[in-house]
Amino acid sequence: MRIAGFQGILYGVVLITMFLGADSQNIFFAQNKTEFASQPIAAENKTMNDSTTTVTEKPVKFHQVLEKILRRRGLKKQDICNEEDAVQMRILHEYGAIFVAGKSAEPPPKCMFTSAVEVEGFQQRIFKAAAEIEGTRIELQTIAMRELLKAREKAVQKDLSITPRGGAEAARRSFEDTLRLCKSRFEPACRYWLKAGRLTASEVKKLKSLPIKEQVREVLELEKQGIYFNTRFDDSILYSVAAPGTSQHLSLLALDVAEFENEKVRKILALYGWFRTVQNDMPHFTFLGRQKRDLKKLGLKKIETKDGEFWIPNVD
């Protein structure tokens, strides 16, 4: 990672606490507000510069871009995701936009963590920052926090606000958090479909007894039959909550935003590299550290809905 150190910022009442690796002590700094203001995030590659010539771009496939990015990191696609595993491939296609994040961000080492130990090991070694925003303390990767605070400053200039939604877990989450949140959808759905006669008591008992990964596999299979596990029982559970070990929040590159319905807020966040990358998860924003004009070149496609746009992997 190229970030060797970073100054925390006193932004109004916002205090950033830096963690430079797992063994370092917390360091506090203050920086003048006028020094903190800056332009929206710049493109990281010279080939991404504006052009006066209008060119019709051919859609770029996500897997092609992903292979190139992984190759630069000395990895292969098989290192992050088992292509023979239908569950992992589904996760990659739903949440995989995080893997094309700019090189200042640290994407997860795999598409599906399998234990708390794996998650904690990753979170301990990345550069991260904490900030208290409107009474809520959140943690993000350093570069993601820096750009979020710039977006907040820009929002204030326009009499707008950008705040976390749902407490501390709006940002960083643990493996246990993802288990709990998934269970909050899984358990009610089991009761609902049991009462509706679509599942039997023995089928529910079997589902609950399965290891997490196999449970997710069975849930996704049931969805093919119209037995859904989201909060309204009418769509995939993956659009309601991430499967255990798969959430972008585990990588500290995601934030649930309270003002997600405000288009002006979404546009400001996009200026600073924050985009919605999980279809139908309206409050969820992912830090890609990229400019909007480059997302198609990175193998993402725009999905327009009544709730705004989402940028998801182009795997069609």
CA distance 222 to 25: 48
User: How far apart are the C-alpha atoms of 105 and 75, rounded to whole Å?
Assistant: 16
- Per-residue pLDDT for the chain (316 aa), expressed as one digit of tens each? 433 333 333 333 344 444 433 333 232 332 323 223 344 554 444 333 443 444 456 789 999 999 999 999 999 999 999 999 999 999 999 999 999 999 899 999 999 999 999 999 999 999 999 999 999 999 999 999 999 999 999 999 999 999 999 999 999 999 999 999 999 999 999 999 999 999 999 999 999 999 988 999 999 999 999 999 999 999 999 988 999 999 999 999 999 999 999 999 999 999 999 999 999 899 999 999 999 999 999 999 999 999 999 999 999 8
**Closest Cα to residue 182, out of 234, 135, 245, 103?**
245
Residue carrying structure tokens 């820009």:
154
3-state secondary structure of 287: strand
- pLDDT given at position 41: 56
- Smallest Cα–Cα separation from 1: which of 101, 80, 77? 101
pLDDT on residue 49: 40
Nearest-angstrom CA–CA distance, 70 and 81: 12
Judge contact between 96 and 62, C-beta under 8 A: yes
In which element (H, E) is residue 131 found? strand 128-133
Alpha-carbon gap, residue 90 to 83, rounded angstroms: 10
Q: Which of 68, 109, 108 is nearest to 299 (CA)?
A: 68
CA distance 26 to 297: 38
Half-sphere exposure of 50 (CA within 13 A, CB side): 3
Q: What are phi and psi of 46, to 5 degrees?
A: -60, -25
Strands 254-256 and 274-275, sheet pairing: unpaired
Spatial contact of 222 and 214, defined as CB atoms under 8 Å apart? no
Q: At which residue do the structure tokens 């997490």 appear?
A: 212
